[in-house]
Every structure is written in structure tokens, then in C-alpha cells.
Structure 1
Amino acid sequence: MLSTCRRLRVLGLNGINIEVIPRTLSNISHLSYLDLSGNHVVEMLPESITRLHNLQVLCLRSCWNLKELPKDLSTLVNLRQLDISYCNNLGQKPVGMETLTNLCKLARFVLGAVSSKQAHIGQLRDLIPLNNLRGQLEIYFRKGYMYDTTSTEEETYLLNKKHIKELRIVEEDLHFHRDPFVIDERLLGRLEPHCDLMKISIDRYTGIKLPSWGVTLGISFPLLVKVSLKHFPRLQHLPPLSRLQHLKYLELRHMLFLEYMEEGDNVAVVTSFPSLEELILDDLPNMKIFPKYDAIVDLKSLLIDNVMLLTSLFGESLRSIRDLTLSHLEVEDLEFWTKLENEEAMPWTTLHSLLVLRLGNVDQMVSQPSGIKYLNSLRSIDICFCGNFEIFPEWSQSLTSLRALIIQFCPKLKSLPEYILPSLTELYINN
């Protein structure tokens, strides 16, 4: 039937779970928009699609089992949008994509294992002519990618992409995958973005220190609103980020040797981070100090997991916070828990706007920290994986604003006090 629709310009076959894309699509020569998204079973596209020379938009979003793109995709010189986001089984991109200079949207650029190192270099170099790319770009390194460390070429692949506002640099994370990380200091250095970047996420980096552009992250990229850095197992120091006046989201995860947030250990209190709303500090066991800033007044969400930063975070400089959510609070070490119990060390009484509190993996907790009784605005408590938690204290009845109670994997808890139940609108108990 499709072969008879020769004047069709727009075709949507999204979400209909077809197994094979018909080859007769190539007969619709005027087609400019083709949406195949959400067809989870499709593994390959017919090569005949590359004869649709008027095609401007090809949407393959969430084609989960798609394994490769047509080899002659580079012949679609009028293509402006290629959406392959959430195509998690897609291998490396086809050769010759540097000819698609009209591309404005390329949500994901996949780099995988091929037969020669030189081909890998060619893959990255394909980004250089694509100066019309805009919006979001994810560069995804699959397992088996080999970066040619012997090459003397030093060109940067992204520096001229001034319209890219969000950059994600990700290395494939396979469970129990022990191979060394691909993204090292030299490779990351050649992925330097344009200074107008607004959001950056880097997942898995093997360097001890950041490349030159990363060292000046807090100065050279003044428009940043989001910074996410995860799985930096050897990094010891992070650059000063206190000058990022528009930063709303800061995420630091899995940095085993990170010691300082700023240069050195003599960090003065400065007026900074006026826009920060969400802060995530997860698995930073050797971090000695998180700087005290006297201008973090809009913080809404805080996640801490197994870090010794309580005094630094909740010192005098943060007592004026207006809106704070302790999100996914997970504490494991005894000293940290002792400070949570100490009403003088933990300024519970100042957290007037706290709405949500989550406590997870707190083996020392038999009952809730006594300071919680001062949280008059608290609406939700989530307690999970607390193996010794067994009782709600009597002062829990003072939490008159509490509406949601979530308890999971707390085997010693035998009952709930009746005075809590009448005010609840949500109660979830699991294991």
C-alpha cells in the first residue's frame, strides 16, 4: 500500500511494533519526515531508505533493539534531524557522516569497536564539519572502542559547535565490566566544547587531573546551569566552581580519591552559588571539605551518600537556607550518624522548609534522629534498608504536617504508632 503513496511527505509509523521496515519506503521519493520511533522489535533498517534523498527528519527514538544504521546513510545529504536517543543496542555510526553538514539535531553520536584504530579516529573527526548541530548532543563510547594514543593530531572536535547547549560524554557502563576506562585526559581534552555551553555531563573518566578546559570549567563556561561528573575513580581535585553564577544543578558521584572541591585546603567563605537548587554528593569517601558558601539560599534538594561532610555542609554559612530537601539521604559510617543524632552538630531547628526526608542504609538507626521533631513542615518520610530500625519515637506525633510514610526493607519494625496514621494520605510498606 505504501508504494502507491508516491506524493506522501510525512509518514508516522511510530509505536506500532512492526518487526520489519518495508523496503518499499524508498518508492515514496518526496518523503521528508519519517517517524519510526517506539518500534522496539526492529533490529535493522532497509538500505533502501538511503534513496529517500528528500528526507529531512528521521526519528528512531526508543527503537531499543536497533543494532545498526544503513551503511549509506551519508547519501541523505538533506537530513536535518536524526534522533537515535534510547537506541541502546545501536553500534557505531556508519562511515561518512561528516557529509551530513545540514544536520541540526543528532541526539546521540555512538562510537564502537571497528577493525582499525585509524577508523576510530575517523569517527571522532566526523564531528568536525557538523557545525549546524544544536541543542543536545551525547557522545557515547561503547565497550571495545580504542582511542589511538599514538596519533599526533591535536584538533578539537566540538570547539566550533556554538549552538550545542547540552553535552553528555558517556562511556558504556556494563555490570561487572572491569576493562580500563577509555576517556583519558588527552581524549577529553579534544572534546572541548564551545564556551556558550549550558549543561555538561561526563560519566566515567580515568584521568588523575582534568584537561586544561576542565580546569577552567568554572571560569570559561559562565552560562553553565548544570554540571554532572560521575565515576572519576582517580581524580583528586576539582576546579573552582564558585564563580558559576547561574549553576542550578551540581552532581558529583563515585570519586574515590577526590579531596577538595576547590584548589587546596585553605578555602575561604565566599559569596557564591546564588542559583544552586540541587546538590548531589555521592560516594566521595576521601573528600576532606566541601566549601562553606554564604549565598546558597535557594537550595531545594540535597543528596548525601556515605560522605563525611556534615559539618562542612551545615555550618554557619548554610543556616539561612529557605528551602531544602534532604533527598535520598544515605549514611553508613558511625561518625556521620553520631552527628545526625547530635542536635547541636546538625541544625535541625533551622530546616523550617524541609518537606521530604529520606534515610537509607543506616544500620546504626534504631529510631529516628531526635532532631526530626523540629521539622514542622515535613510532609514525607522515606526509610529504607535500615536493618535495625524498630521503633517510632513518641515525639513523632508532633509531625502534624506529615502526609506520606514509606518504609521498605526494615525487618525489625513490627508496628506503627496509631497517632501517625490519621494524618497520612499515603502509606507504603514493602518487606
Structure 2
Amino acid sequence: MQNLVNLRHLEIFGTRIKEMPKRMGKLNQLRTLDCYVVGKHTENSIKELGGLPNLHGRFYIQKLENVTKGEEALEARIMDKNHISHLFLEWSIANDNSIDFQVELDVLSKLEPHQDLEALSINGYKGTRFPEWVGNFSYLYMTSIGLSNCNNCCMLPSLGQLPSLSNLRISKMNSVKTIDAGFYKKDDCSSVTPFPSLESLHISNMPCWEVWNSLDSEAFPVLKNLYIDNCPKLKGDLPNHLPALQTLGITNCELLVSSVPGPLSLRTVEIRKCKKVAFREFPLLVESIEAEGGPMVESMMEAISNIQPTCLQTLELQNCSSDISFRGGLPASLKTLVIRGIKKLKFPLQHKHELLESLSIINSCDSLTSLPLAIFPNLTSLRITNCENMESLLVSGSEISKRLNTFAIDHCPNFVSFPREGLCMPNLTSITVCNCDKLKSLPDQMGTLVPKMEYLSISNCQQIESFPEGGMPPKLRTVFIENCVKLLSNQAWKSMDMVTSLVVRGPCDGIKSFPKERLLPPSLVCLELFRLSSLETLDCKGLLHLTSLQQLNIVNCQMLENFAGEKLPLSLIKLIIEGCPLLQKRCNRKDRQIWPKICHVRGINIEGRWI
């Protein structure tokens, strides 16, 4: 490598290289070197960087733990590399009880970059404090800083005086307990507004952080996005004046009890698993709210019921055991509603919800036994999951769900039936029915009532024996069937001649031979069989009429060892067999029973190998 003296570009980031080749410093024409992995020897130490003055763009220096003296770091001449725009300094994450904190500080001090740098990231630094250059106001063009895994630092560097800093990420600073005045500005910058350009602040995974002292009310004048995640000991108040805030996300801060500003600019709120976070004034123009945990859900429900925000479009409520309801109904502006893990919630059925487009009810609303679709005239997506008492959907008279596009119902053990007159959903493209133990049939007249349906999935519905009368939708192309023994044991699937792709998944205990003759639709192009635990024989007679079949996948059918009948369809182009050990042994030219039945297939792949 050292002889390539005219080399201009070398990219190694993301490779498994453990240390650099020797004497990289001789490649003094290099303009692009995205990463330098510091070695332990003189010939590949950090000193070699001193001979590379022309590096441009993003530059990572990794394994800085191999730099044992500040003088070595100084010889890298990082300050002189004026064309580096993004600098990433990384130490390997490892427990080391023999750290010399002064050496660590000296090394980072000597890695000071030029003052036109745009972005800086420090990861794994083992010193107890940061050198003076980190955050110095002379870095006029610094827009992004990331600090992570600096576990011995108990204080954050002063960053508020950086005039152009717009994005700041702080994570895994395990010794930091307090964010105080020193974070905002240094003593010699008392007249500066702290963080004058900061738009996005992420603080995450801070296990010891307890207090955020927001001493300067003028700080963060343009902050748009604030995210705080997984700070389990954080208790105190958050900054009380954030006039430009648009997105607030606080998650997994179990001890946090705080009041936060609700500026008119706030549009998106996500607060999960916090003790109690309340708004001093509810943000009237908020468009999206996600709340998780009893206190937060109760607080949000109370505020929404009292204020009835007129701009709220998305609401997600999760995990609350209290007896709650939407007093006054849903906000009229709401378009998306997700309710998860709130069993005692009383769903508002008295009024139409004209603008609601997406509704998900998951493990909630135990009092709800039926859902009248008429109150959702503009619904496009409906999902009902784990609603133990849900029995039916209701359709009144000639009312039509004109816009519904996707419908899924799963793990509703008492769901008995669809409306007797069928589901008139002219724009429905997808239906998923899963784990509905008492359901005996799909909606009738699907061929005319849901003419645009393209996808049908039926899983673990043991009482369904056949497809409905009146034909299937003409655009139906893909069908997924999982563990429906009665349906797979039927004599024939009528009116399914439009289906081109079929997936059959087990276990389907008791089905030893599949498929029965004339069961499957002749239009099939692709057939996939997965995890059929009892399947011993694939019956070629049940496939012979599939004159359009091009691909057959057989996966994880452990007991399968035989093909019955004459041969697989002549139209078959690709046969893939995986996880079928008994069959795998027989799929070779020596087997006079199996090989003649498959040898005409152009592409045969057994356990990832083409034969």
C-alpha cells in the first residue's frame, strides 16, 4: 500500500480492517480517506496522518485508545487538515481499569480540528472532562455535534455559544447527573443567547441524569425538535420557554414529573412511559399526539375532552387500566385513531366521525361487542385486534363503506360473523382474518360487493370450511392461508380462477397428503408451502391441472419425503426446497421414484444449491 504514492481515493469504512497498513503517511496525494484505524505499532500509529495534508470531506479516526501520548496525537496534524468537513473521533468501547485520565485529556486536546469544521462526533472518549476547544465559539460553521459513550465525563461541555449549531445528539453519558448553566455558555460569553441556532436536540440513554437546570429563559429560541428517551432518573422540569418547538418526544422517563410549555408552534407530541408530563397550556394547534401509560393517557383524554382541539389529526393512546371515555366524542378533525391496551375505554358510538380515515382498536374496549361501520363514512383502514368481546360488524340498510381500502381482524375469539347481507366495500383491496375461532365463513357475495380486492389472508380460523357463495372478487390475485385444516381439506375451491399466487402455511396437523385433486385454482402461477408439520406426500395429481404454474416453493416440511402421481406440472420453471431433510435426500438422479417427477424442471434449488 505504501508504494501507491499517486493514490487519490481510498474508502475502507465499514470493512473489518483491524488496523491500517504500514506507512500510510507516504500516500501524500490522498484526498479521500474516509477512515483511519489507529494501530499499535509506530508504522501504523496516528502519526502517519501527519503526512496526509489534503484529506477532504468526512473522516473517521477509530481505535484512538491506541494513542498513548498527547504528542502522538499532535503529530497527526488534525488542525492543518482544512478540507475535512465532518470529523468522527472514536474509542473502542471496553472496560479498562488502567485509564490515565490526564493522558486521555491530552490526546483529545491535541486532536483539535480547524475552525471551519462543520460537524463533530466524539464516541467512547474515556477522559473525565472535555478540552476547551470542544464547543469553543470560534467554530463559526459547526452545525452538528454528537457525544456518546463518554462514560467518565460527569459534565457536558459548554456548547451554547456555538453560533451555527443546529443539531445536537447526546447519548450514553453514564456519569452525567445534572445539566446546568455550564452547558449553556461559558463565563466569558455571558451576553450570548445560548444555542441561538439549535433546531434539533436528542438526549437518550442517560442512566444517571436526574436534573435539567434550565437557568436561561432566552435559550433555544429556534428549537423545533426535542427528544428525550430512556432517562430513567430524570425528575425535574424541562426548559420552560421554547417558542419555536414543533415536535416534543419524551419516552421511558419513568420518574419524570414535569410541566412543559405548550407553544402555539407545537404540532407533534409523543410522551410514553413517563410518570406525569403536563402542559402549562394545551397546544391548540397540535396535529399529532401519542400517549402511553395510565397518567399520561388520563391527562391527554382530560385535556382533549375539555378543549376539543380543532387541528388534531392523529391520536394514539396506549396502556391505561382506568375507566375512561371520550367525553363529547372524538375531535371532529381527527383522521387517525389508534387505541392499544385500554380495556375499559368506552368507544363513542353516538355520533358519526366524518373525517376519520384510519382506526385501530387493539386489546381495548372490552365493552364493545359490535362495530357499526355507518359511523365511519370515510374510513380507509380498519384494524381490530385482541378485542375479546367483539362479535360482529354492523351495516345498516344500504349504507356503504365507500372508501375502506384495508380491513384486518385478528385474535377476536368471539367474532362470529360478518353482516348477513355481505360487506359492500367497493374500494377494498385487502382483507386479513386471523385467529377468529368462532368465525365460520367469509362475507357473502364478495365477487360483486368487493370487486377491487386483490389480497386475502386467512389464518388459524378452524371453522372456515369453504370460500363464500356468489363468487370471489375478479381482481383477487394473492391468497395466504395459514393453519386452516378444514379449508385445505375441502373438495374444491369454487370461483377462485383469478388467483395467481397462493401461500399455504402450517402446521395443519393431520394433513399428510396435499393437495386434493382439483382443489387448487388452475390459474396459479406461484405456489408456496410452508411448515406443514404432518405433510408426508405431495400429490402431483392435485397439481397436474395447474397448467400455468411456474414456481413451487416447499419450505420446512420436515416429514415430507415423497411425490405421488406421475410428475410435477410441465409448466414449472423453478422448484425450491428448503428445510425438508427427508425429501432433500431423495432429490437426486439416483432416486428412480422422485427424480423422474422433477427432472423436467429447468431450475431446481435444494437447500440453497442449484442442481
Q: Name the TM-score, length of structure 2 as normaliser.
A: 0.52
Question: 1:417/1:398 Cα in 2 relative to 1: closer, same or farther (>3 Å)?
Answer: farther
Residue in structure 1 matching 2:450, options 273, 280, 283: 273
Q: Which has the higher helix share?
A: 1
Structure-2 change in CA distance of 1:425 and 1:288 (3 Å): closer
In the alignment, structure 1 residue 296 sits paired with structure 2 residue 478: no
Q: Which has the higher strand share?
A: 2
Number of residues paired by the alignment? Answer: 381
CA distance, structure 2, for counterparts of residue 146 and residue 245 of structure 1: 39
User: How does 1:34-183 map onto structure 2 within 5 Å?
Assistant: 34=225, 36=227, 42-43=231-232, 47-49=237-239, 51-58=241-248, 67=254, 71-73=258-260, 75-83=262-270, 90=273, 94-95=277-278, 99-106=282-289, 108-110=290-292, 112-113=293-294, 123-128=300-305, 129-134=308-313, 137-141=315-319, 145-147=321-323, 155=327, 157-158=329-330, 160-162=332-334, 164=335, 166-171=336-341, 182-183=364-365
In structure 2, the partner of 1:379 is 551
In 2, the alpha carbon distance for the partners of 1:75 and 1:285 equals 51
CA distance in 1, matches of 2:555, 2:453: 26
- Partner of 1:223 in structure 2? 403
The 8 Å contact of residues 81 and 103 in structure 1, kept in 2 or not, is answered as yes
Across the aligned residues of Structure 1 and Structure 2, the Cα RMSD in angstroms comes to: 4.4
**What does residue 538 of structure 2 align with?**
367
Q: SS of 1:309's equivalent? A: helix
Contact 2:310 2:331 in 1 (8 A): no
Task: Output the amino acid matched with 1:203.
Answer: T
Q: 1:305 to 1:187 in 2, by over 3 A?
A: closer
Q: Say if 1:249 and 1:290 are closer, same or farther in 2 by CA, change over 3 A.
A: same
Matched to 2:542, the amino acid is G
Rate the CA distance shift 1:79–1:42 in 2: closer, same or farther, 3 A.
same
Report deviation, 1:296.
Answer: 1.2
Do the aligned residues in 1 keep the contact of 2:253 with 2:275 (CA within 8 Å)? no
Report the CA distance between 1:243 and its aligned residue.
0.8
Distance 1:285 1:244, change over 3 A: same
For 2:495, what is the secondary structure of its paired residue? helix
After superposition, what is the alpha-carbon deviation per residue over 1:261-280, rounded to whole angstroms, capped at 9, x for unaligned? Answer: 44xxxx56751211212211
Structure-2 change in CA distance of 1:272 and 1:186 (3 Å): closer
| 1:247 matched to 2:421 | no
| Alpha-carbon distance between aligned partners in 2 of 1:101 and 1:287, rounded to the nearest angstrom | 49
Residues 349 and 238 from structure 1, CA distance in 2 versus in 1: closer, same or farther, beyond 3 angstroms?
Answer: closer
String of CA shifts for 1:35-64, please: whole Å, max 9, x gaps. 649x7x55476732454242012356xx7x
Gapped runs of 5+ residues in structure 1? 174-180
- Shift of residue 295 of structure 1? 5.1
C-alpha offsets along residues 336-365 of structure 1, whole Å, 9 cap, x if unaligned? 766x42222x134232xx335133234133
- Classify the secondary structure of the residue corresponding to 1:318: coil
Percentage of identical aligned residues: 14
CA distance in structure 2 between the aligned counterparts of 1:100 and 1:147, rounded to whole angstroms: 25
Residue of 342, 347, 351 corresponding to 2:516:
342
Change (3 A) 1:190 1:422: closer
| 1:298-344 C-alpha deviation (Å, 9 max, x unpaired) | 2232221232235889643222x1x532235335154x766x42222
Q: Which amino acid in the other structure matches residue 285 of structure 1? A: Q
Cα gap change, 1:284 to 1:228, in 2 (>3 Å): same
The alignment partner of 1:271 has SS state of: helix
Aligned to 1:176: none
How far residue 232 of structure 1 moved from its aligned partner, in angstroms, is 0.9
User: Structure 2: 5+ residue runs without aligned partners?
Assistant: 1-134, 136-158, 163-194, 344-362, 590-598
Could you say which residue in structure 1 is the equivalent of 2:438? Answer: 257
1:391-412 CA distances to partner (integer Å, 9 max, x unpaired)?
4567348464216x25236567
Shift of 1:139: 3.3
Distance change in 2, residues 1:379/1:132 (3 Å): farther
Distance 2:270 2:516 in 1: 52
Partners in 2 of 1:75 and 1:249 — Cα distance?
40
Q: Does residue 173 of structure 2 align to residue 10 of structure 1?
A: no
**Which residue number corresponds to residue 178 of structure 1?**
none
Distance (Å, rounded) in 1 between the aligned partners of 2:399 and 2:517: 38
What SS is found at the alignment partner of 1:29?
A: coil
Counterparts of 1:47 and 1:190, CA distance in 2: 44
Q: CA deviation at 1:381?
A: 0.7
Q: CA deviation digits over 1:64-119, x for unaligned, max 9?
A: x56577632463453102356xx7xx36774559923321123x332x345xxxx9
3-state SS in 2 of match to 1:317: coil
1:365-419, CA deviations, whole angstroms, 9 ceiling, x for partnerless residues?
33355434536443351422x331124567348464216x252365674343364
Partner of 1:177: none
Given the alignment of the two structures, is residue 284 of structure 1 paired with residue 456 of structure 2, yes or no?
no
Kindly state the Cα deviation for residue 198 of structure 1 after the two structures are TM-superposed: 1.3
TM-score normalised over the length of structure 1: 0.70
Rounded to whole Å, the distance in 2 between the matches of 1:310 and 1:95 is 54
> Could you tell me which residue of structure 1 aligns to residue 496 of structure 2?
318
Change (3 A) 1:313 1:13: farther
Return the offset for 1:195: 2.9
- Provide the C-alpha distance between the structure 2 equivalents of 1:44 and 1:401, rounded to a whole number of angstroms: 61
* Corresponding residue SS for 2:449: coil
Residue 402 (1) aligns with residue 581 (2): no
- In 2, are the aligned partners of 1:272 and 1:294 still within 8 Å (CA)? no
Indicate the SS of the match to 2:530: strand
Amino acid of the structure 1 residue aligned with 2:555: I
Q: Relative contact order (C-alpha < 8 Å, sep 6+): which is higher? A: 1
State whether residues 171 and 203 of structure 1, in contact with CA within 8 Å, keep that contact through their aligned partners in structure 2: no
Specify the SS of the correspondent of 2:238.
helix
Alpha-carbon deviations, 1:219-276, whole Å to 9, x = none?
Answer: 46421111111211122223365311111121111111223444xxxx5675121121
Select the residue among 391, 400, 417 that pairs with 1:209. 391
Within the candidate set 204, 209, 222, 1:31 is matched to 222
Q: For 1:156 and 1:124, how far apart are their aligned partners in 2? A: 11
